[in-house]
Structure 1
Amino acid sequence: MFVLMSSCYQAERNCEAFKTGTFEFTTYLEGEMQTTVFKRTDSLSIETFKGKSDTASIRWINPCEFILTDLTPKNSAEEKPLHFKILTTSNSQYTFEYALVGATNKQRGTATKVK
């Protein structure tokens, strides 16, 4: 009976609660923990990292997936859009995976909603 109950469990996914707002994402980069802050509206994401801001357009595919396209790419790598998928949510955090559109090597992260 326990096996049946555990196989029916689904992680919470209230993606609408994370469509807009201000978020923090912390990751281990270049040998130390780095934090990015980004503010997301229905159509834009403004990211601030190490005191520099960058703006990307957002196109929502469905309530839990979106495409980010850099509006001011500085090189050819930044011209490629990123695909994000929200996997799970909680009160103030969501876990997501992301990759270049069409790529199979996805990475994961967790963002915290601060506003």
Structure 2
Amino acid sequence: MHKDQLGQHWIEVCAIEQIVPNTGVCALINGEQVAVFHVIDGEQRVFAIGNYDPNAQAAVLSRGLVGNLGERIVVASPIYKQHFDLQTGECLEAPENSVPAYPARIAGGKVWVAA
């Protein structure tokens, strides 16, 4: 765990090369399953959202397909195919079933998620 200048706690998840580009992995952060995505779309970025899909009532979002709808980078749930915005966690088809989004970054070749 690392604390930044603003007092926010960051947890190291893994090395960036351990996540295949344009896919996700699941990490246990403070007892919560978090889906962490490595996206390359002109630049290399990481995103983190809750792994639990409330539409399917299953922890599966890290296994979804990464893509985009217009300007939004999304993951399609592998069960019912609802799209979740990777920046905000919003479920585009059913906003009432949105998931939490977490700050994520790449530093020193590692993926970090804010706790």
TM-score band by shorter chain is 0.3 to 0.5
Pair member with larger Rg: 1
Q: Give the TM-score taking structure 2 as reference length.
A: 0.35
- RCO higher in structure (CA 8 A, sep ≥6): 2
Q: Give the TM-score taking structure 1 as reference length.
A: 0.35
